[in-house]
Homo-oligomer: A and B are copies of this chain.
């Protein structure tokens, strides 16, 4: 069967499943989720065996150790993945919630109600736990899902999907509520994102190449979960001790994630005091600073930052540093070079706060806190399918509500339009 036919078939089956999922109430879906958690627990050995095949293949292919680490499902990560399924079961199901309700002068009652989106496609890279996370979040919200993981974790993804599908079906999950694209063919992604009328939304989670491959061919809506080029701006009025702690945390607490700081902007008035103290604090932790001319005038040992550095998502301990002469210059830098993810100002000035909050065009804007808090759990959503760097439908952390849409239910008593 060719890839086009295969994907069309998966799309149609997903649509059928989505119609059945609308009929599954919260209790029934939670029974499926509990069964999945138990099945994953019971079949840990199979998961580990499959994961070892992927790990060996990755090592044999000479993949970087950071990549091998990302696809490794050790015992602690398995525990956390299984606990995550139970956490999702425990969350409140948003489907059916009334967002608003009003009555028109002609007596029509309009109810805006949360409903599932329908069929989602989730495209992700090497972390195999996303197979489980994405599948259970979609099931919880009565969406059918077509998953496409990275080829490096193909064996792990396959066994995880098998376990979810088999256990879910034992408790009445519709046959094709969860599907995994099992061919490594790139063509499959292209076909998936062109399934107009079958797939309602595609969420790509990953780097530039993945996002480009998706948006270039997409004819269905896409919400990008793209890189995080996050900034911390230390204003002239910042509390120095607070600024040092926030900037250190934003850079060092977990440098490999999308909400870590990649560029530090410092007001010229505070830079002579702040920058040497900051360097003294983070360089022992391995941070490598790259500065513009003004920053290097203060710390000449710093590497030179080029224009390209301002766009860079290092995901490691490198940090670009730029001196600015005003909050508006910081805002302009962030809006020009950033990825509209998460950006912070450290300041004691209400005026500077206000400008920064209003004018920074990012999903999450912080005042006097670390950008590391951009996360569904930290926001109190309980779980997230990812963090949207787009503006439409969902922006920032996407939890269960963001996996729903709404419809208007209009109740009449025979009203006609005059």
Taking Cβ atoms with an 8 Å cutoff, the residues of A that contact B are: 19, 22-23, 102, 104, 108, 110, 117-118, 196, 200-201, 215-216, 218-219, 221-223, 239, 242, 245-246, 248-250, 253, 335, 357-359, 361-370, 372-374, 378-380, 390-393, 395-396, 405-417
Contacts and interface: CB of A to CB of B under 8 A. Distances in A.
Given A108-B369, A407-B396, A391 B245 contact: no
Given A365-B407, A367-B412, 10 more contacts: A22-B358, A242-B414, A246-B416, A253-B417, A363-B407, A364-B407, A368-B411, A369-B411, A369-B414, A374-B408
A368 B416 contact: no
Contact of A414 (B245, B395, B396, B409): B245
Given A369-B412, A370-B416, A102 B380 contact: yes
25 contacts: A19-B359, A19-B361, A23-B358, A104-B380, A108-B369, A118-B361, A200-B391, A200-B392, A201-B391, A215-B219, A218-B218, A223-B392, A246-B414, A362-B407, A366-B410, A367-B409, A368-B414, A369-B410, A369-B411, A369-B413, A372-B416, A392-B393, A392-B405, A393-B393, A395-B406
A259 B361 CA distance: 37
Nearest to A111: B357
Contacts of A358: 22-23
A22 B359 contact: yes
Contact of A221 (B222, B357, B364): B222
B239 A414 contact: yes
A337 B34 CA distance: 37
B415 A373 contact: yes
B416 A365 contact: no
A408 B392 contact: no
A415 B390 CA distance: 26
A106 to B, nearest CB: 8
Contact of A379 (B222, B253, B367, B408): B408
Contact of A117 (B102, B392, B408): B392
Contact of A104 (B218, B361, B378): B378
B215 A196 contact: yes
Contacts of A405: 391-392, 395
A117 to B, nearest CB: 6
Given A215-B196, A368-B413, A369-B415, A19 B392 contact: no
A417 B373 contact: yes
A135 to B, nearest CB: 20
A264 to B, nearest CB: 15
A320 B406 CA distance: 29
Nearest to A370: B416
A87 to B, nearest CB: 17
Nearest to A356: B409
A239 B412 CA distance: 13
B380 A408 contact: no
A314 to B, nearest CB: 18
Contacts of A363: 407-408
A412 B246 CA distance: 11
Contacts of A392: 117, 200-201, 221, 223, 392-393, 405
Contacts of A407: 361-365, 395-396
Most buried by B among A239, A363, A373, A395: A373
A221 B219 contact: no
A415 B249 CA distance: 9
6 interchain residue pairs of minimum CB distance: A369-B412, A249-B416, A372-B417, A393-B393, A242-B414, A364-B408
Contacts of A19: 335, 359, 361
A316 to B, nearest CB: 18
